[in-house]
Amino acid sequence: MTHAPHVIDPAGRGLHAEAELLRTRGSAALVELPGGIRAWAPTQYTVLKQLLADDRVSKDPNQHWPAWMNGEFRETWVNSWVGVTNMFTAYGSNHRRLRKLISPAFTKRRTDGLRPRIEELAAGLLDRMAEAPDGRADLRAAYAHPLPMQVICELFGLPEDRQADAARLIAGIMDTTVTPEQAMAVWQEVQELLGGLVALKRETPADDLTSVLIATRDEEDGSGLTEQELIDTLLLVIGAGHETTVNLIGNAVQALLSHPGQLAGVLAGEIPWSDVIEETLRWAPSIANLPLRYAVEDIELPDGVKIPQGDPILATYASAGRDPLRHGDDAASFDVTRVDKEHLAFGYGVHFCVGAPLARLEAAIALPALFERFPGLALDVSEGAAPHVESFIGYGYSELRVTL
Ligand code: HEM
């Protein structure tokens, strides 16, 4: 049976219910994204994993998305995701070149060296939270957001007086309910802010990764990053480097506080924090859906669904995490004792997340430090349930009220 494309809620409300519905339509279903963009949404873990590792699937719209090449959708929300010139939208050897220049900065060993500074930042934020006279806080604003934000800004040398603007602009990119005018205004400001950072570090190089990126040259051909590649790579690492980890910390705290039995097991030392982090990533991945990939040629899936050449594909991470075919009938339950928590929340294949060790380290420091400092931490629902970020891409809370 052929279905009309399912129109995705731009605000991401009920995205798990949407995934359930789409599962009934085959291994990939047609969806309509904001602005009328049609894409294939894989509905099963194994199908998504297979497509993420398939050379016949590209992330480069300039080579493989005919509608984009014809000038369509350029001045909409999708521009900030696919109209960038960095590893995120590169294919084949160009992807390897762009990724090679940044990935040495994020190896597990280098990341582990950041531990003392992350611990210090977490302790400082907790001290400040403890001073709240009414014993209440918005955990996102007071802790989950500033910690990854400060870490990534220190790494890339973004001056403190530009950090609030950077956070606002990244939130603007995550918001998929914006008008085309709002999206283009955010885009313009991003270019100015990060262009300013590049200019500053060209003039006054310092001990930070922006200065390293400017100076880096390819070993083989001696080429460096172009101005646009520099700006867009900074947008990728500063954006991906904080908003996702903010959501991971917020989602883990919310899940634990709503499952007190499991929290007790964790605090008693029976369940390691790493299990909390992995189960949170499976159950509530910080990136629920990621635009876009494109079929380089016609692709036929095992159940006969055909994705025609040039059609966009959405990476459906939230749906994959709760696929009953992969995780059983209780796939939708949060269970830190689940033996098999395998997930695709950091992606899979050549675009696998460069910052996964950093994200895991930050969460592994932030979560125990928070619960040690405030053993009686509880959700504050006096003003209703915590609101979600308005996005079908980012998955987390825009505010998380707690009592200390
Ligand atoms: C919980 C935290 C995080 C999550 C859930 C996450 C998720 C992801 C996902 C799903 C991808 C694959 C994108 C795709 O489908 O093609 C990705 C790629 C990427 N992530 Fe993360 N990420 C996180 C933290 C970070 C951090 C801390 C950084 C640090 C700088 C980072 C940098 C990147 C970069 C540069 C890429 C692009 C890799 C490429 O295209 O080759 N991420 N991330």
Q: Is residue 299 assigned to a domain?
A: yes
> Residue 244 has what pLDDT?
97
Q: Which amino acid is at 288?
A: A
Stretch (H or E) spanning 324:
helix 324-327
pLDDT digits (tens, 9 = 90+) for 373-389: 999 999 998 888 999 99
Phi, psi of 293 (to 5 degrees): -120, 170
**How confident is the model over 169-194, as a mean pLDDT?**
94
pLDDT digits (tens, 9 = 90+) for 220-252: 777 788 999 999 999 999 999 889 999 999 999
Atom of ligand 1 at shortest distance to CA of 248? 1
Output the domain CATH number for residue 176.
Answer: 1.10.630.10
Q: Look at residue 62 and tell me whether its pLDDT is greater than 80.
A: yes
* pLDDT band at 218; cut points 50, 70, 90: low
Domain coverage including residue 241: 6-403
Q: Which residues of 200-224 are buried (b: 16+ CB within 10 A; e: fewer)?
A: bbeeeeeebbbbbbeebeeeeeeee
| Threshold 0.75, pTM exceeds | yes
Number of separate domains in the chain: 1
Q: Output the residue whose Cα is nearest ligand 1's atom 38.
A: 351
Residues with beta carbon inside 6 Å of ligand 1?
87-88, 99, 236-237, 240-241, 244-245, 248, 285-287, 290, 315, 317, 345-347, 351, 353-355, 358-359
> Residue 302 has what pLDDT?
93
d(CA 94, CA 88): 11
d(CA 310, CA 320): 23
CA of 236 to the centre of ligand 1 (A): 8
3-state secondary structure of 398: coil
**How confident is the model over 195-221, as a mean pLDDT?**
89
Q: Look at residue 2 and tell me whether its pLDDT is greater than 80.
A: no
Structure token pair of residue 300: 């036929």
> CB neighbours (10 Å) of residue 160?
9
Q: Is residue 1 assigned to a domain?
A: no
- C-alpha 247 chain-centroid distance: 8
> Residue 1 has what pLDDT?
61
With beta carbons less than 8 A apart as the criterion, state whether 292 and 314 touch: yes
pLDDT digits (tens, 9 = 90+) for 113-154: 999 999 999 999 999 999 999 999 999 999 999 999 999 999
Residue to mutate (ligand 1; options 153, 232, 244; most atoms within 8 A of CB): 244
CA-to-CA separations, 318 to 160, 162, 187, 189, 198, in angstroms, rounded? 34, 32, 26, 30, 35
Structure token pair of residue 344: 């695709």
Q: Output the residue whose Cα is nearest ligand 1's atom 18.
A: 353
d(CA 254, CA 397): 9
